[in-house]
Amino acid sequence: MSVMKRVSLIFRAKANKALDRMEDPRETLDYSYQQQVEMLTRVRRGVADVATSRKRVELQMNSLQKEVTRRENQARDALGKGREDLARAALQNKAGLQGQLNDLQGQYAQLQDQEEKLTLASQRLQAKVDAFRTKKETIKATYTAAEAQTRINEAFTGISEEMGDIGLAIQRAEDKTAQMQARAGAIDELLASGALEDHVGGQQDQIQAELDAIGAGSDIDSELAQMKGELSANAPRQIEANANGESGATEATGTQAAERPQAGDGS
Amino acid sequence: MIVRILGEGQFRVDDDVAAKLTVLDTDLDSAVASENEEEFRAALGAAERLVRESGTRVPDEEFVTADYILPFSDATVAEVRKLLADGVIPGDSIGLP
């Protein structure tokens, strides 16, 4: 049998089972209405949950993006210092992080989609529940219990299908959110522990440590050069006139001081 | 004929559209049976486009049951197989005294 038909039969079976159990149809209308209102609350909570989840993924995407940028800067820094090996390691690291980020972006889109659909579903249910309330009052006011039966059955089966639809939609959204939260929790932990680097197979700490070491090394080198410059500038000053020697020292210091920020850049 | 797209509500379609849907339903059925995700997506997409474009929305005040129910537009074969196998819809207690 066809898929579309089989699904519709499942929904009908559910409504019929409910109808079979009804004793006083008119009271059941009120009870059913209460349940619909509860369903509305559930679907709205579902929308809020998906939104919370989406925002969390958004924050994680921002954190990952920052890490990606940091690795890129490290690579540039390392290349500037002639360390292609470090630059390569930083870029490998970046690729791993970028993969995580792309993955999160896909999930973000899915959550956004779920949120949108669930919002529409909640609006649809609200309209349907309002219409049901009107119908319920009309049935109760206009018909005797016997006459009302058919109309109640119609209204009941109609709303039952709608409720089943929304029920499935909420369940899907909950499943998606639960999956996402498990992943988000894992990524949060990784980001917090700084273990994300290891996780993606890189060695961020070592890269940074080596870059820092190069930075510190060049600082020392340039300080040494500066001192040497001062010394050699001072030597002729003792022999020659004071004015000449001082201007030479200023020049030398100025040149070497200008090199320092370059050497220590990014460290 | 009344067709529901899960997550989107009910539509009323005429006999021509219903006939086309019946053909697409055969494709859906074989895709679900053979667990062919690609065929399933194609058939589901075509069926839902047809309903959205050629059908008219059933007004909120009207309480009718659908003759055909199409899965969620982003449903997977596994999800549909599960629904068909279990025959259970969440919220089964709703409306029951």
d(CA B50, CA A27): 40
Share of chain B above pLDDT 90, in %: 84
Nearest to A31 among B8, B91, B97 (CB): B97
Q: Which residues of B touch A32 (CB under 8 A)?
A: 94-95
Provide the chain A residues 65-104 that lie in CB contact (below 8 A) with chain B. Answer: none
Q: What residues of chain B lie within 8 A of the CB of A113, using their CB?
A: 74
Q: Do A4 and B6 touch (CB under 8 A)?
A: no
With a threshold of 0.90, does the pTM exceed it?
Answer: no
pLDDT given at position B96? 42
- Residue A108 forms contact with B (CB below 8 Å): no
Q: How far is B27 from chain A (nearest CA, A)?
A: 9
Instruction: With beta carbons under 8 A apart, name residues in chain A contacting B70.
Output: 4, 7
- Per-residue pLDDT, averaged over A193-203, amounts to 48
pLDDT (tens digit, 9 = 90+) per residue, A171-197? 888 888 888 888 777 777 767 765 455
Q: Of B63, B67, B84, which has the smallest distance from its Cβ to A135's Cβ?
A: B63
Q: Do A39 and B94 touch (CB under 8 A)?
A: yes
| Closest-CA distance of chain B to residue A43, Å | 12
Nearest CA in chain B to A8: B69
The full DSSP string for chain A is: --HHHHHHHHHHHHHHHHHHT-SSHHHHHHHHHHHHHHHHHHHHHHHHHHHHHHHHHHHHHHHHHHHHHHHHHHHHHHHHTT-HHHHHHHHHHHHHHHHHHHHHHHHHHHHHHHHHHHHHHHHHHHHHHHHHHHHHHHHHHHS-HHHHHHHHHHHHHHHHHHHHHHHHHHHHHHHHHHHHHHHHHHHHHHHHHTTHHHHTT--HHHHHHHHHHHHHHHHHHHHHHHHHHHHHHHHHHHHS-HHHHHHHHHHHHHHHHHHHHHHTTT-
Please write the tens of the pLDDT for every residue from B1-54.
Answer: 999 999 999 999 999 999 999 999 999 999 999 999 999 999 999 999 999 999
B contacts of A2 (beta carbons < 8 Å) = 22, 25-26, 28-29, 68
Is A242 a residue whose pLDDT tops 60?
no
Chain B residues touching residue A159 (CB < 8 angstroms): 63, 95
- What pLDDT is attached to residue A258? 46
A4–B68 CB contact, under 8 Å: yes
**pLDDT of A96 higher than 60:** yes
- Tell me whether A133 touches chain B (CB under 8 Å): no
CB–CB contact A8 B67 (8 Å): yes
pLDDT of residue A202: 46
A58 min Cα distance to partner chain B (Å): 23
Contacts of A5 in chain B (CB under 8 A): 25, 67-68
ipTM: 0.90
Nearest CA in chain A to B8: A121
* pLDDT surpasses 80 at A256: no
Summarised one tens digit per residue, pLDDT across range A98-112 is: 888 998 898 899 889
Report how many Cβ contacts below 8 Å link chain A to chain B: 139
Interface of A with B in 220-249 (CB under 8 A): none
pLDDT value at residue A217: 67
Q: In chain B, whose CA is at the least distance from the CA of A162?
A: B9
Beta carbons of A2 and B22 less than 8 Å apart: yes
